[in-house]
Amino acid sequence: MTAEAAIQTEGLTCIYRQLWRRREVRAVDDVSLEVSRGTSFGLLGPNGAGKTTFVKLLLGIVRPAAGQARLLGLDCRRPEARLRVGYLPENHRLPSYWTGTGLLEFAAALSGLDARTRRERARQLLELVGLGNWGDVRLARYSKGMLQRLGLAQAMMHSPALLILDEPTDGVDPLGRQQIRTILRELEQRGVTIFLNSHLLTEVELFCKEVAIMDRGRLVLSGKVRDLIAGKGYRLTALNVPERLFERLREQASAAAMRDGVAEFQFASREEVNGALDLLRAAGCLVESIAPTTSTLEQVFLRTVGREGSQP
Amino acid sequence: MILRQSAALVRDTLQEASLRWIFWGYYGLSTAAILFFLFLLHVDVIEGARATISLLGETSARAFPLQELVRRFYGAVAVLLYVHGMALAVFAAAGLMAAPLEGGRIEWLLAKPVARWRILGMRLLGSLIAVGLNVCYLVLSVWIILGWKTGVWDPSFLAVIATVMFMFAVLLSVVTLAVVLAGSATLATMAAFALMLISPLLAQHKLMVKLLDSESWRNIWRALYWALPKVYEVGRMNMDLLRGRPIESWMPVWSSALFAALMLVAAFCLFARRNY
């Protein structure tokens, strides 16, 4: 484990026991993960993969059966470990008897902020999340999207170094999502580590630099988004390609195949595909198609989880 | 920082209580009782005394001492507060204790840098304050009204605040454990009400022991009597204090306090270890 990491887990395991049926469910199974400080990290997985339990383990809401976790270098079981952590839970039910300002001040007081700072931060953050005119209104009158934005604001009240967000854009309209992404991007630029637990793959792909995929409680893949979606490029298919030319192009391409007389090449860049096109034309080959290809995070996800039609 | 967090948690409880209809009703009933006393005493003190005694069902031709009249008033308020007020307070507080343990809210609270015992402890303290304020409001108001009208300022009535709050704290400990165990305000209320209802029966343990024919049942009955809080007997002590009678035994108080302490230790230990 490195001291620089924002989140470090080692063999983290959570077992839910059903007393009456004597059944055990390994919600999180031997997960070792490291999230470096200042990065934006996305945790993906199908329903029931153990993502939310993993987050709860990190925050001491659930006790591990085995293993350990550290937040910003501190044992996650200690309340001090959460001093510089902001959290937005999934399906939260923020106390509706507070006003927007009241809730933010309450959240900040729990993080130890003094009254003056609380007032100032509440005002600033309500403005930031677009609820500047709603500070004196009770939460009972807020829409789901507004509650989600307020939830994000309360997580940011004490200027955390690590922000753990469970489905932060749930129920938020596209404009609000864009706004949340902008806020998170600004935080990331200021060195805040952002840990995103989301089922929206495109959102994770747009925002996160690193991802991990969980399935059936286990960590099945982790890495940089850039590396995982490296399958981007161009696919070229042609007919009547002589064997010598096919072999030559195969060396240049990232992948090549000959199926039923049709040669198929995968090139990583525009220059490479144009060079190949020149050679094929010169040899009198018939070019059938050229198409840009992408390997989206969704494709990576489906490949990894191995279940077509899975819901992340 | 600890003080700041604790104050915020207590304030959160009071904020929630202030917006619950049940607490409005609770305070409303106290206000109604105070208004009733104001109305009742809005007559000449001496004539009113006789009239009031007649109203309470005790007609007497002899001159009734004013001190005794005031004590009777005190007794009426104490019984009202100890029985009906207590039931309402338990009902109101059970909802207040269970609310932060609801899914979606408890995760949010537990993720804050606050020790679990403090989250539960401050909720408990907030509930005690919310109920205590009402008890003080009613008792002090009645004491001031009666004192002002009759000139009798008997401080023994103020002990009602302590006895009512003590027994409420004992019952709240049961509510706390039930809420942590089952997460249900209804179940917690039922548990506390069951203790209130069984208490007069257990108080007759000497008679019951004579009536039971099996030694095992006698032992069970004795064990229940010693283990469970003595709501009825503490109520009797309350009345003895008001009437200026000496307290024969403090056992009902310390055994109830011990029971509450055990309930709270169990609740706090369970809450500290529980997964949400």
Among the partner residues A63, A89, A102, nearest to B104 by beta-carbon distance: A89
Tally of domains within chain B: 1
Say which residue, A163 or A305, is predicted with more confidence. A163
Q: Which residue has the higher pLDDT, A2 or A181?
A: A181
pLDDT confidence of residue A234: 85
The whole-chain average pLDDT of chain A stands at: 88
Percentage above 70 pLDDT, chain B: 92
What number is the ipTM of this complex?
A: 0.81
- CB-nearest to B104 from A16, A59, A93 is A93
**pLDDT classification of A250: cutoffs 50, 70, 90:** confident
Average pLDDT over residues B237-244: 86
Tokens 């990583």 sit on residue: A268
Alpha carbon B91 to chain centroid, angstroms: 11
Distance CA(A43)–CA(A152), nearest Å, equals 18
Residue count of chain B, please give it. 276
**Three-state secondary structure readout of A122-185:** HHHHHHHCCCCCCCCCEHHHCCHHHHHHHHHHHHHCCCCCEEEEECCCCCCCHHHHHHHHHHHH
Whose CA is closest to A180, among A139, A137, A133, A128? A128
- Does B50 score more than 80 pLDDT? no
pLDDT of residue A126: 96
Which pLDDT score is estimated for B154?
85
- Res A254: pLDDT: 77
> pLDDT averaged over chain B?
88
**Residue A264: pLDDT band by 50, 70, 90 thresholds?**
confident
Smallest CA–CA separation between A201 and chain B, in Å? Answer: 24
Q: Residue A48 is which amino acid?
A: G
Question: Per residue in A142-179, pLDDT tens?
Answer: 998 899 999 999 999 999 999 999 988 887 888 888 88
State which residue of chain A sits closest to B11, comparing Cα positions: A106
Which candidate from A79, A98, A113 shows the least CB-CB separation from B114? A79
- Residue A91: which of B12, B104, B114 has the nearest Cβ? B104
**Six-digit token string for B250:** 């403090």
Q: How confident is the model at residue A235 (pLDDT cuts 50, 70, 90)?
A: confident
Q: What is the predicted pLDDT for the residue at B56?
A: 58
pLDDT for residue A261 is more than 70: yes
The span from the CA of A51 to the CA of A44, in Å, is: 7
A180 has a pLDDT exceeding 90: no
Letter string b/e over residues B226-245, b meaning 16 or more CB atoms within 10 A of that residue's CB? eebbbbbbbbbbbbebbeee
Q: Using the predicted structure, report yes or no on whether residue A302 has a pLDDT greater than 90.
A: no
pLDDT greater at residue B39 or residue B31 = B31
Q: Cβ of B111 and A106 within 8 Å?
A: no
Burial of A13 (0-12, 13-18, 19+ CB in 10 A): middle
Interface of A with B (CB under 8 A): 16, 56, 59-63, 79-83, 85, 87, 89, 91-95, 97-98, 102, 106-107, 109-114, 164
Domain range for B131 = 2-273
- Taking contacts as CB-CB distances below 8 angstroms, the residues of chain A near B110 are 59-61
pLDDT given at position A309:
44
Q: Is the pLDDT of residue A111 over 80?
A: yes
**Spatial separation of the C-alpha atoms in residues B25 and A140, rounded to whole Å:** 21
pLDDT, one tens digit per residue, over A76-105 is 999 999 999 999 998 899 999 999 999 999
Nearest Cα to Cα of residue A212 among A38, A55, A14, A26: A55
> How far apart (Å, rounded) are the C-alpha atoms in residues A37 and A190?
11
Q: Hey, how many other C-beta atoms are within 10 angstroms of the C-beta on A58?
A: 28
Label residue A308 by pLDDT band (50, 70, 90).
very low
pLDDT bin (cut points 50, 70, 90) of residue A18 is confident
Q: Which of A105, A193, A114 is nearest to A157 (CA)?
A: A105
User: How much is the pTM?
Assistant: 0.81
pLDDT band at A311 (very low <50, low <70, confident <90, very high): very low
**Confidence (pLDDT) at B210:** 83
* Joined tokens for residue B223: 């064990």
**Contact (Cβ atoms closer than 8 angstroms) between residue A223 and residue A211:** yes
Closest CA to B180 of B117, B81, B256, B98: B98
Taking 3-state DSSP, the helix, strand and coil percentages for chain B, each rounded to the nearest 5, stand at 80, 0, 20
Count of A–B CB contacts within 8 Å? 83
Residue B102 in tokens? 């609801």
Highest mean pLDDT (candidates B34-43, B177-186, B202-211): B177-186
Contact A164, A197 (CB under 8 A): yes
User: Does A106 sit within 8 Å of B12, measured CB to CB?
Assistant: yes
Distance of alpha carbon A129 from alpha carbon B61, whole angstroms: 76
